[in-house]
Structure 1
Amino acid sequence: MIIAVNRFILNGISYHGKGAINEIPGIIEAKGFKKAFIATDPDLLKFGVTKKVTDLMDKAGMAYEVYSDIKPNPTIENVQSGVKAYKESGADYMIAVGGGSSMDTGKAIGIIINNPEFADVRSLEGVDTQGMDQGAYRKAAIDAVRRLSVDVGIPTKLEALKEEDLQFLSESAAADACAPGNPKEAGVEDFVELFRKLM
């Protein structure tokens, strides 16, 4: 049986589709990389998802180190500890395994490894944070995201939202695994009020 692996080229090549994971060893060999830094989260490690990648690398005799200290909605400290772990690992490339948190942490680590001027992590937000305390920084970052939302045309109102939807949506938002990583703690009533403002 022949499986066709799909790919498309942007700045790099993106492999996707059934069997795409099997391309990893060949890509590593072609690039001449020596040791991988695998960024993943504890749940993906626990449930064997990361093992699908490490098994391929073990079979090919490729060196790697796994970094799994990644939290939902990773913090600045989380990224900085990842940068430290990358440097200490002696890796010369990275593989991120997972969803948004692993991918975002991996990207931030990669940016900082190659651009150490962003080591504070905050400056990646596009906000000058020099001399700001945490409260001022958070407000500046939120304002920057709001400006970006307007610039790219993201709607500021959810016109289809109805009052009877608010409780369910708010309970779902509060129960989301990423909720603890929000910039400020919020309960169901806080989410109800937030959704109500969007109506």
Structure 2
Amino acid sequence: MANRINLNQTSYHGAGAIEEIANEAKAHGFKKAFVCSDPDLVKFHVTSKVTDILEKNGLAYELYSDIKPNPTIENVQHGVQAFKDSEADYLIAIGGGSSMDTSKAIGIIIANPEFEDVRSLEGTAPTKKPCVPIIAVPTTAGTAAEV
């Protein structure tokens, strides 16, 4: 059974938690997900645990797996363009630190295009608009597990 915790946003933990992704997407009226996951998680069918739920619930998505360990500026910029091309309205980040960090950067830049150089996001960036909504599915207990 999934446990629900309300923080500044909603967090689900425990068995069955990923099943709630469809309910959250529908409740927010999202139209299309931009699913960010690294190539190994796609290869070993970890990502499909989430995309299968989206498909089962008739939710549109586009998979983006061009995520590298310790993502580069070019990697993030490529993801930003892919998000724009997909016409998605929210992100689903699946994986460890690289997937989470890439997704967060994409979401911030889409909402705040003046930071498209990526480097200006280092430290505390004076962004004006909140990030594109992200549903995070951490697969590690280390880097980015706090999302």
Counterpart among 5, 8, 30 of residue 11 in structure 1: 8
Amino acid across the alignment from 1:93: Y
Percent identity, aligned pairs only? 70
Amino acid across the alignment from 2:118: V
Greater radius of gyration (CA): 1
Encode CA deviations 1:53-74: one digit per residue, 9 max, x unaligned.
0100111111100000000000
Higher relative contact order (CA 8 A, sep 6+): 2
Equivalent position of 1:56 in the other structure: 53
Amino acid across the alignment from 1:79: V
| Residues 87/102 of structure 1: CA separation in 2 closer, same or farther (3 Å cut) | same
Q: After TM superposition, give the deviation of residue 126 of structure 1 in Å.
A: 3.2
Question: Between Structure 1 and Structure 2, which shows a larger proportion of strand residues?
Answer: 2
Question: Between Structure 1 and Structure 2, which shows a larger proportion of helix residues?
Answer: 1
Distance 2:62 2:15 in 1: 26
Matched, 1:108 2:101: no
Q: After TM superposition, give the deviation of residue 75 of structure 1 in Å.
A: 0.2
Equivalent position of 1:71 in the other structure: 68
When normalised by structure 1's length, the TM-score is 0.61
Equivalent position of 1:34 in the other structure: 31
Equivalent position of 1:47 in the other structure: 44
When the two chains are superposed, the root-mean-square deviation of aligned CA atoms in Å is 1.4
* Unaligned segments of structure 2, at least 5 residues: 126-147
| Residues 127/98 of structure 1: CA separation in 2 closer, same or farther (3 Å cut) | closer
Number of residue pairs matched?
125
When normalised by structure 2's length, the TM-score is 0.82
Equivalent position of 2:138 in the other structure: none
- Secondary structure of the residue aligned to 2:47 is helix
Equivalent position of 1:99 in the other structure: 96
Distance 2:117 2:109 in 1: 9
